[in-house]
Amino acid sequence: MSIIVTGAAGHLGRLTAEALLDRIAPEHLVLVTRHPKRLREFAARGVDVRYGDFDDTATLSAAFAGGERMLLISTDSLGRRIRQHRTAIDAAVEAGVHHVMFTSHVNPMGNPIGSFATELGDTEVILQRSGVAWTVLRFGSFAELQLRPAATAVQNGRLITNGGDGRIVPVSRRDCAEAAAVVLTTDGHSGTTYDITGPEAMTPRDLAELYAELSGKPVEFVSLDDWRFTLTLMGVGTPWQPARAIAAFGRAIREGWFDVVDPAFERLTGHAPTRLRDVLIAHHANLLAVG
């Protein structure tokens, strides 16, 4: 069985490749990327590293040739992702790939964070209508993305947010990669959507208390409305559009769009997912310094 991972030079792609190499021989793994040189260590281990660019359809026939199952990792090209994903799905079907797994986000339909999520929901529909066997992995918010705001909160002594009493359920990238590797190497997942989340839902106040506990420094929880939060972001140099986007994330948290705790990860892997606390402890130096 030949397994393809796209976007393989990214954080999730590399972790998934490592997880797959615990389960399959290197000669059965194909890593597709626009930056093959970044994956030279995998090539040295016998993995087939191929060039592929979703913006250049002509590159995908060779990139996907011989693949049976494929993990389509969503791109980060906001505004272009639907076209890129459709191109990749069409090319996979044409190349004879039997099963395409796609990385999405919890609650992507109608989410107030806008295109970041809704483009993923639109891609899910495209995949489901493609005629190929499909599986969707909807990930919660990556726990590693909490490192920089946590460090900023520790440095400033305040966690300023418009998230109110809403809750997020951080999940580690390594856990997401492990879940993807399990689905790619086992049967029975066709036509299934999995929510891959961490083990606990946390409010912004919970986060502030956790940051304070782990850093040994006081972190005050400061709750603002959307407009005041946007102005606060702009006051520290954030441009208007990014400030609005960050505020939209806070609104989505407040409205419960990220409040999803699901047992799918443990069912797939046989063990509990990693807590945010443990991710932060593993990166303790990052928690104490911004930059």
CATH of 143-170+198-259+274-291, one of 3.90.25.10, 2.40.30.10, 3.40.640.10, 2.30.30.230: 3.90.25.10
Q: What's at 79, amino acid-wise?
A: G
For residue 31, give the nearest of 21, 178, 138 by alpha carbon.
21
* Per-residue pLDDT at 78: 82
* Per-residue pLDDT at 283: 86
Domains of the chain, residue spans: 3-139, 143-170+198-259+274-291
For residue 262, give the nearest of 178, 139, 173, 167 by alpha carbon.
139
Q: Which two tokens stand for residue 166?
A: 């809403």
- By the 10 Å C-beta count (0-12 exposed, 13-18 middle, 19+ buried), 76 is classed as exposed
* Per-residue pLDDT at 112: 79
In contact, 36 and 8? CB cutoff 8 Å: no
- From first to last of its 291 residues, the chain has per-residue pLDDT tens of 799 999 999 999 999 999 999 999 999 999 999 999 999 999 999 999 999 999 999 999 999 999 999 999 999 888 899 999 999 999 999 999 999 999 999 999 888 777 778 899 999 999 999 999 999 999 999 999 999 999 999 999 999 999 999 999 999 999 999 999 999 999 999 999 999 999 999 999 999 999 999 999 999 999 999 999 999 999 989 999 889 989 999 999 999 999 999 999 999 999 999 999 999 999 876 776 654
| Fold match, 3-139 / 143-170+198-259+274-291 | no
Domain 3-139 has CATH 3.90.1170.50: no
**Could you tell me which residues come within 8 angstroms of residue 212 by beta carbon, excluding any fewer than 6 positions away?**
154, 218, 219
* Per-residue pLDDT at 190: 97
**Chain centroid offset of residue 147 CA:** 15
